[in-house]
Structures are given as structure tokens and as C-alpha cells.
Structure 1
Amino acid sequence: MLRAVENSASVVVCSACRLSADQREDSEGRRGGALLVDAMRGLQAQEPAYEAIAVQDMPCLFACQRHCTVHVRGPGKVGYVLGDFTPDADAARAILDYALRHAASEEGVVRYAEWPQGVKGHFIVRTPPEGFVCT
């Protein structure tokens, strides 16, 4: 059930997530999460700065009331689950831009003023790093 991945700055994308609140998949039968993974990896191929963030996919993050859900995480850092994205290049860029700021932060806390516009309103939950709770 578990697959080892690099323990680094990463975005885990729910590859089974719905396309939208109203649609499960697109006309070709592809889920929104899979499209978002493709968009993120496509941006990484075009822009080397994004290669610093591992894009990892898994079949379910159990946020099934939402669509296009991701988990931004890094070793020893507060993590964040975000959702309700449109699976396109704009969302992919906003998520990766936020993930770069998250990776550069000491504890995973990015000042609101530094959040890309495309992630505002998409936060669902924050997760403390293993062995810690937030104060």
C-alpha cells in the first residue's frame, strides 16, 4: 500500500480527484487530479526552478468532498492540504510557486502576503510535522 518516495519538498497530488464539483472526469475519461499532475510536470519540464519540488501522485487523499486536492509538505515543516483547483497550468503554477516558498521557509509557514493569488481560498487543513504540534 505504501510506496517510498524522496523525503523532500514536495506536492502530493490526489490523482483520483474529481475534475470539478460537478464532474468526475473529462470527455476522455481523465480525472482532474491526473490532469493536474500532468500540468505540474509539464511546467517543471519548461521551468527549471520548479524541479526543486517533487511532484508525487497517489490515488486518494480522502478529501472526496473536494476536487483537485494536493498536500504541500517538506521534512520537519508544517504541511498544508489544498483543494478545489481547476486542473490547468494556472493552478499548477500557483501550487508550485507556493511550494517553492514553503520549501524556502524555516518551518513551512509562508506569510499570507507572499501567497500566490491562485492558492488563496484553497486551503483545507494544515498538518504538523511528525513529532511536533503548532503553537
Structure 2
Amino acid sequence: MTTWITVCDTCKTEDWEASGREQKDGEVLAELVEACASDRADVKTRRVSCLMGCNHGCNVAIQGEGKLAYTLGRFDPAEEAAEAIVEYAALHAESKSGQVPFRQWPQGVKGHFVTRHPPLPTDEAE
């Protein structure tokens, strides 16, 4: 089943304004994540302008239909972070529930989890 990585492309790390960079950190991370996921059939990417986690920038959401969803943040816009995000998303895609055992987490996502959301009910009565 497909797992989606949603990357906030408006995120800025604390030093962004002082750095003089024109491109926002979220844009850089989005490009890196897209490149890392480009040859994967089980992981798709998309960008959104603002996940409302500004204090945790750079932010991503990991989601799959009928599965637990996660928001991760506090990433540096770097290749290592992008690789870990995509690796975790692939493990999420393999998992029936979306839960990945801690021992399988890539080192690069440890300490970056912000929230976990249960899947939406499949029946209005649930």
C-alpha cells in the first residue's frame, strides 16, 4: 500500500533569516525527499504550504490510507534527513497498521516525532 510523505515547503529553521538564503528550508527538504523517493513505487511525495508546525520546522507528515499517521519535525534540510524520512515511509508502507517497531526506525528519524494520529474510521457509525 502507498504511503504519502507530505513536506511543508514553507518551513524555516531558526537560523533561516540570518543565513541570507532565499530558498526556504522546507523547499530544500522537499527537493531532497522527492529525489530520494523518486524510484519507489510504495512511497509518494507531495508538498503543502504550511503544516502549522512552525516551532518544529522542517516538518513532514507520513500517511497511508487506513493507517496510523505521523508528523515529524525538527529536521535539517539535508540529504541524510531525506534518506531517513523516505526509509521510514517505506517501512510505514510495509506495515499493515502503519506502526513501525522502534528497533526498525532509521536513526535519522529518532527524536523527530511530533504527533501520531489514528486512522479515520471507515464507517460513519464508528
Pairing partner for 1:73 from 43, 51, 63: 63
- Residue equivalent to 2:22: 29
Aligned pairs for 1:50-61 (under 5 A) are 50-61=40-51
Identity percentage over the alignment? 34
- Whole-angstrom CA distance in 2 between matches of 1:26 and 1:106: 42
Q: Does 1:44 align with 2:58?
A: no
- Residue equivalent to 1:3: none
Pairing partner for 1:14 from 8, 16, 27: 8
SS in structure 2 of the partner of residue 72 of structure 1? strand
SS in structure 2 of the partner of residue 126 of structure 1? strand
TM-score relative to the length of structure 1:
0.83
SS in structure 2 of the partner of residue 65 of structure 1? helix
1:53 and 1:99 in contact (8 A); partners too: yes
Moved >6 Å (runs of 4+): none
CA deviations 1:85-130 (Å, max 9, x no partner) are 0111110000000000001001000000000000000000001111
Q: What is the aligned length? A: 122
Aligned AA (2:53): A
CA deviations 1:33-55 (Å, max 9, x no partner) are 1101101122234xx2x342111
1:83 and 1:123 in contact (8 A); partners too: yes
1:77: how far off? 0.2
SS in structure 2 of the partner of residue 68 of structure 1? coil
Instruction: Tell me the C-alpha RMSD between the 2 structures.
Output: 1.9
Which structure 1 residue ranges, 5 or more long, are not aligned?
1-6
Question: Relative to structure 1, is the Cα distance of residues 115 and 30 closer, same or farther in structure 2, using a 3 angstrom cutoff?
Answer: same
